[in-house]
């Protein structure tokens, strides 16, 4: 984030930016009600803005006690390759470190494009001990 035009913030993106960054970065598109729930129900946010608009983001959901899940890690394609994802994840982990008691459990679902970043920041595969699962709908 050497470029002064990039600014890191711990405030959520607008609903429009949230939906745009998700869909444009390759994450599954969400509806306005789904996005509003994400904005309201997050434990913390880290958002990089460029010219006032969100271009990279991530959030943590969790109970604030011991369980924290990193979600919605996304960077717009035209801003990728500049270390923005690393900056967002570093800030999210710092927020957990600042507030969480000893023994916090931090998880994420690692899609292929982010796996190298996550591994470089200390995340390890949970399988075969644990296997991420989702409810198919």
pLDDT tens-digit map of 72-96? 999 999 999 999 999 999 999 999 9
pLDDT tens-digit map of 94-124? 999 999 988 899 999 988 889 999 999 999 9
Question: Given this model, what pLDDT does residue 137 score?
Answer: 83
Q: Is the peptide bond before 60 cis (omega within 30 degrees of 0)?
A: no
Question: Given this model, what pLDDT does residue 3 score?
Answer: 57
Vertex 127 angle, CA 123 and 129, to 5°: 110
Confidence of residue 4 (pLDDT cuts 50, 70, 90): low
Exposure string for 18-28, b = 16+ CB within 10 A, e = fewer: bbbbbeebeee
Count of CB atoms within 10 A of residue 59's CB?
23
pLDDT tens-digit map of 20-65? 999 999 999 999 999 999 999 999 999 999 999 999 999 999 999 9
Whole-prediction pTM value? 0.92
Question: Given this model, what pLDDT does residue 24 score?
Answer: 97
Question: Given this model, what pLDDT does residue 41 score?
Answer: 97
Task: Tell me the domains of the chain and their CATH numbers.
Answer: 6-120 (3.40.630.30)
Residue 123 and residue 110 in contact, taking contact as beta carbons nearer than 8 Å: yes
């Amino acid at each position: 984030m050497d470029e002064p035009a990039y600014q890191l913030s711990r405030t959520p993106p607008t609903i429009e930016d949230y939906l745009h960054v998700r869909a444009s970065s390759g994450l599954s598109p969400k509806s306005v009600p789904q996005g509003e729930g994400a904005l309201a129900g997050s434990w913390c946010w880290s958002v990089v803005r460029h010219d006032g608009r969100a271009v990279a983001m991530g959030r943590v959901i969790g109970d604030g006690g011991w369980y924290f899940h990193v979600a919605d890690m996304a960077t717009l394609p035209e801003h990728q390759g500049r270390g923005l994802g690393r900056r967002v994840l570093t800030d999210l982990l710092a927020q957990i470190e600042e507030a969480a008691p000893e023994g916090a459990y931090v998880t994420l679902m690692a899609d292929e494009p982010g796996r190298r970043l996550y591994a470089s920041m200390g995340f390890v595969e949970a399988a075969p001990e644990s296997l991420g699962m989702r409810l198919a709908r």
